[in-house]
Amino acid sequence: MVTRAADVAGWEVEGSGWSPIAAHAAKELRQHLARLPAIGSAGRIVLSHGDADTDGFSVGHSGDLLTLRGDGPRGMLNAVYWLLEQAGFVWVQPGAGGARLGPSAPLNEGQFGAAPAFARRTLILGQDALHDDWREWMEWASRNRLNDIFFHDTPPSVWDRGGLARHERHEEIERNRQGWMFELWDREGAVIRAEAAKRGMTLQFGGHHLPALIPRALFEQHPDWFPLRGGKRDGRFNLCVSSAGAVEQMRRSAGEFFGRFPGADIYHLWADDIRGGGWCECDGCAGLTPSDQALRATNVVAEVLAGAVPGARIAHLAYHDTLQPPAAVAPNENVVCLFAPRERCYAHAIDDESCAKNRDEYWRPYNGLLRTFGNDRNRVSVFEYHSDAILFKGMAPMHLEVLPRDAAAYAATAHNLQDLMVGPRPWIGAPWHAWWMAKCGWEPAVKLEGELTRFWNAVDPAHGEALAAYAVRAESAYRLFLDLHDLHVARGRDVLDFSDTPRETMFAKAVEAGAAARELIAAAESLPEPAEDAEAFNREALQGFFVALVAEHLSERLAGWAAALNRTPAAVEHIARARAALARIEEFEELFYDGTVGGAPAYANLGPRMWRGMELLTDQAERLVAEGGKA
């Protein structure tokens, strides 16, 4: 009698009339079970699926018969991965070494069924370095029951480079400051689409590419195509959505875009990534909010998409200036809402009534956007930032409590929960935050304690308990660090750059950030001493060390800034410590850009700029100190 899931090793895998997705599921099952020791029992695993376009599945177990049936082909693949999870498999990171084997769970007799909270669960690959490894990330995502991959480039790719090849050295990539996702799709798009189809995964493609539809080089010839701002036409950002010429040019360019990059289920042609001042003030646009102008442009592109790729959709990005619901423009039928609350407070859930920032600045606009899109959850996606190392300055918050609460809040109204993965370097250790998002996207009520233990024991069985304890300790420090209270996000600064408005909140935040940094440093120092033969643990310890450095820099800079405003002599010491920590960070990062420590040069199109930005803000704080705190 089978008592544990691993005991099915050696059982026959059967089925008939399989789709390509089901064939892949059977192959995955056989290959993984072959890694388990067979105990000599004989039985059958029967795979089947219906025709539904959903991800649910059912499991039946009676004696030596195990049946796995998916609502559709992808559901059958999910059933296979469910069984493999019960057998002890944990896919902690991409690549062959990321499939770990832990304890097997009991396999009870009877019937069991499961279905995800979100119809679509998306991993967003947000930069060239991650695109380069798309095969490994796609496999990892599928095995963790995600069913959508979003190819999104940061910084944006260039429409036409005139045959210029991508640079290979990190210094050249840093100087170039451009993304290369377009060339990736030109070169490997057909393979990407085939590999996604084999796994039942849909694809998304694009980013901040709306301005590329109106080439900036056309400004001198057609200034009226571009926004009127402060009484003058400005060729830097977006377009004038009231200009017939601009609209016609946008139509032509959109047709070329969809023809060149086929195969996506959802396309993204977003406005410029700026806060404030990027939209038009001419007579035709003056009565339109930024959200209205953005949606009007998206509707134009949506009309082209409807003719070029029937069934595909395009996203209206609710982000920065366009976070508020449109007031005068309604979305076309093939336009979906993409809610992207980047500057929210990640110390609290998105719907936490006790957090005024989230409640008033994000959750209320979100509910307004739902009404704009007819309260149709199939037209609402959430672009979240739980794995965004740019937002978190290279740190990796655990989101132990916030992420499942976010998922629960969104599940009733959105069909797609997405997680942006982007950063200034590769993840040093296993990406718990992305793995946790996959679990919460399937079931927001997932039990944290069991999953935390399972994940970290899979990463390193010898140190799993210590790593799980570190995660819990770091979580409390992160939440203290990330609590924005009523701090404004100043223009030109990011969330963790903080601000001095309101001044009293800034002073309190400086104290709070200092306490959080000390706790993150203590948590890293509490980990056991690294061992030469414990590579996985050593990488996690290195991650903790780096996080502590970043926290030290940010907290000391903020403390120096606050001390300067208070005109106290401690400001000089705080800024000196902030500089010392930043210098160590930059030395550490160089090892990743040149590939010395498991990195890749492609990360240099983001990382060095981020550290220079941090240095610039440190310079500003130091000048304030020198000027005696005059603000």
Residue 45 Cα to chain centre, angstroms: 36
**Beta-carbon contacts of residue 31 (< 8 Å; ≥ 6 apart):** none
Nearest to 520 by CA among 489, 558, 482, 492: 482
| pLDDT greater than 90 at residue 40 | no
* Least confidently predicted of 53-57, 89-93, 540-544: 540-544
| pLDDT greater than 60 at residue 16 | yes
pTM to 2 decimals?
0.97
CB atoms within 10 A of CB 543: 22
pLDDT band at 534 (very low <50, low <70, confident <90, very high): confident
Q: What is the amino acid identity at position 159?
A: W
Beta carbons of 318 and 365 less than 8 angstroms apart: yes
- β-strand partners of 125: 151, 421
| pLDDT greater than 70 at residue 458 | yes
pLDDT value for 177: 86
Please give the angle made by the CA atoms of 486, 488 and 493, to the nearest 5 degrees.
Answer: 145
Average pLDDT for 414-434: 94
| pLDDT greater than 70 at residue 631 | no
pLDDT value for 468: 96
Average pLDDT for 210-219: 93
Give the C-alpha separation, 324 to 289, whole Å. Answer: 9
Tokens of 129: 């370095």
| % of the chain with per-residue pLDDT over 90 | 84
Give the C-alpha separation, 423 to 53, whole Å. Answer: 33
| pLDDT greater than 80 at residue 508 | yes
Give the C-alpha separation, 368 to 375, whole Å. Answer: 9
pLDDT value for 593: 79
Average pLDDT for 313-333: 97
Give the C-alpha separation, 320 to 271, whole Å. Answer: 10
Distances in Å between the Cα of 191 and the Cα atoms of 92, 134, 194, 195 are 25, 11, 5, 6
Beta strands in 428-576 (DSSP E): none
Radius of gyration in angstroms for the set of CA atoms belonging to the chain, rounded to a whole number:
25
Give the C-alpha separation, 425 to 599, whole Å. Answer: 7
Give the C-alpha separation, 295 to 403, whole Å. Answer: 29
| pLDDT greater than 60 at residue 255 | yes
Beta carbons of 399 and 579 less than 8 angstroms apart: no
Please give the angle made by the CA atoms of 399, 405 and 407, to the nearest 5 degrees.
Answer: 95
- β-strand partners of 67: 46, 60
Position with higher pLDDT, 462 vs 335 = 335
pLDDT value for 464: 94
Up-side HSE of residue 44: CA atoms within 13 Å toward CB?
7
Beta carbons of 505 and 511 less than 8 angstroms apart: no
pLDDT value for 1: 61
Give the C-alpha separation, 121 to 201, whole Å. Answer: 10
Average pLDDT for 201-223: 95
CB atoms within 10 A of CB 194: 11
Average pLDDT for 80-84: 98
Beta carbons of 101 and 93 less than 8 angstroms apart: no
pLDDT value for 538: 82
pLDDT value for 628: 77
| pLDDT greater than 70 at residue 597 | no
pLDDT value for 630: 62
